A and B are shown apart, each in its own frame.
Chain A
C-alpha cells in the first residue's frame, strides 16, 4: 500500500530564518507531487507541483521554492521566512494519470 510522510508536524520559526519541509511517498513510483498552503480558515492554495524528478511547476513564486531530488521526495524551502508564510502546509501525491489526491498529515508553521 502507499503511504505519504510529511514532517515536522509543527514548526515555529523566526522571521528571516530558512525553511525546509520534507515529504516522501512510499509504495508507488513516478507519482505527481504537490505542495499546498492553507491559511487559517481558508482554502487550499496550490504552491508547487511536480510530474517527475527535477520538474517543478510554480503557482505562487513569492519567496518559496520546491525541489524533487528523488522520485518520491518533495521538498519545500525558503531562504528567509516572512510572517505571511505562516500556515498549514500540506504535501499530496496522486497517480501519474491524475485522479485522487492523497495528503500528508500537514505541517503547521508559525513564523514569529
Chain B
C-alpha cells in the first residue's frame, strides 16, 4: 500500500496482442494484490487478485504475477479484445490495515 505507482499510464495495443501493466508499491508488509477494471463511466470491479504466498495466478486471458522482493506485481492480458479497453487499477493491501489506496491507473486501448 501507501505509495503505489502504475506503468505505463496509457497503453495502446492491436487487437489480439498482449498487454502488460506493472504496479510498484512501497509497503513491504503488503500481502494482498488485486487488479480492478473500470469501464468508461462505470464503477471499478475486481478482475483478479493474488496473495503473497502465490507467485502467479491465471484466469482465462488474464494473469497476475507477483515479485515481493522487488515490490511489484503485474497484470497480463493475452489475446486482447476491444472490450478489454478500460482503465486498470492496482490496489496492494496489508492485512489489518484498512486504507485502501489505488494505483495511478493505466488506460488501455485495444485497437480493432
Please list the residues of chain A having a beta carbon within 8 angstroms of any beta carbon in chain B.
Answer: 32, 34, 36, 41-44, 46, 49, 51, 57, 59, 90, 92, 94, 97-101, 103-106
Of A32, A44, A94, A97, the residue contacting B44 (CB under 8 A) is: A44
Give the complex CA separation of A92 and B97 in angstroms. Answer: 16
Residue contacts A-B, CB under 8 angstroms, 28 given: A32-B100, A34-B100, A41-B107, A42-B105, A43-B89, A44-B44, A44-B89, A44-B102, A44-B105, A46-B100, A46-B102, A49-B98, A51-B98, A59-B99, A94-B98, A94-B100, A97-B95, A98-B32, A98-B96, A98-B97, A98-B100, A100-B46, A101-B34, A101-B44, A101-B100, A104-B43, A105-B43, A106-B43
Interface size of B by Cβ–Cβ distance < 8 Å? 24
* Interface contact A46-B101, CB-CB below 8 Å: yes
Residue on B nearest A92 in the bound complex, by CB:
B100
CB-CB under 8 A from B104, the residues of chain A are 43
Interface SS majority for chain B = loop
Taking Cβ atoms with an 8 Å cutoff, the residues of B that contact A are: 32, 34, 36, 42-46, 49, 89, 91, 93, 95-105, 107
Q: Which residue, B32, B44, B49, B96, has most C-beta atoms of chain A within 10 A?
A: B44
B43 proximity list for chain A (CB < 8 A): 90, 103-106
Q: A44-B44, A101-B34 are in contact. List 6 more A-B contacts (CB 8 A).
A: A36-B102, A43-B103, A100-B46, A100-B49, A101-B100, A103-B44
Q: Point out the residue from A41, A46, A98, A104 that lies within 8 Å of B93, measured CB to CB.
A: A98
Cross-chain contact B99 with A57 (CB below 8 angstroms): yes
A32 proximity list for chain B (CB < 8 A): 98, 100
Complex alpha-carbon distance, A92 and B103, angstroms: 16
Can you name the residue of chain B whose Cβ is closest to the Cβ of A103? B43
Which one of B34, B44, B100 lies within 8 Å of A49 (CB-CB)? B100
**Using Cβ atoms and an 8 Å threshold, which residues of chain A touch B103?**
43
Separation of A34 and B98 alpha carbons in the complex (Å): 9
